[in-house]
Amino acid sequence: MFTFLLVVHVIIAVALVGVILMQRSEGGGLTGGSPTGLMSARGAGNFMTRATTILASLFILLSIVMAAIATVSRKPDTIDASLARPAVPATGAPVAPAQNAPVPLAVPGKPAPAPSK
């Protein structure tokens, strides 16, 4: 269900970008623009304006629905510890290297062993 809604959400987002890019630029930006712009009776009934409004509303509504679904159907709070490393002792004692370790571990206070040739 969530995957289907996610695909629909992406399609709406792409359509919204396409509709916005196809609109004619009024040139006014936030300062107003021409009198035949969005606030006039002619501009308000424009198909592109209505399509943008509908797609934007669907995008926001679907975002809220998907967030609610993700919150309700989240995974349990258990953590898979099967790959966890063993804890290092807090005393600072050196940890014994694993059997047949290719690289010797450094011991605090001792110089590192010279590499063999």
Domain ranges of the chain: 2-25+40-72
Output the CA–CA distances (angstroms, integers) from residue 53 to 65, 68, 87, 93, in the order listed. 18, 23, 56, 66
- Among 57, 49, 42, which residue's Cα sits nearest to residue 23? 49
- Residue 18, pLDDT > 70, answer yes
List all residues 6 or more positions away from 9 whose beta carbon is below 8 Å from its beta carbon: 59, 62, 63, 66
| Amino acid (1-letter code) at residue 73 | S
Cα(89)–Cα(98) distance, rounded to whole angstroms? 16
Residue carrying structure tokens 């592109």: 48
Say yes or no to pLDDT of 1 above 70.
yes
> What local confidence, expressed as pLDDT, does residue 57 receive?
95
Position with higher pLDDT, 77 vs 49:
49
At 56-100, the pLDDT tens digits run 999 999 999 999 998 887 766 677 777 777 666 666 666 665 666
CB atoms within 10 A of CB 37: 17
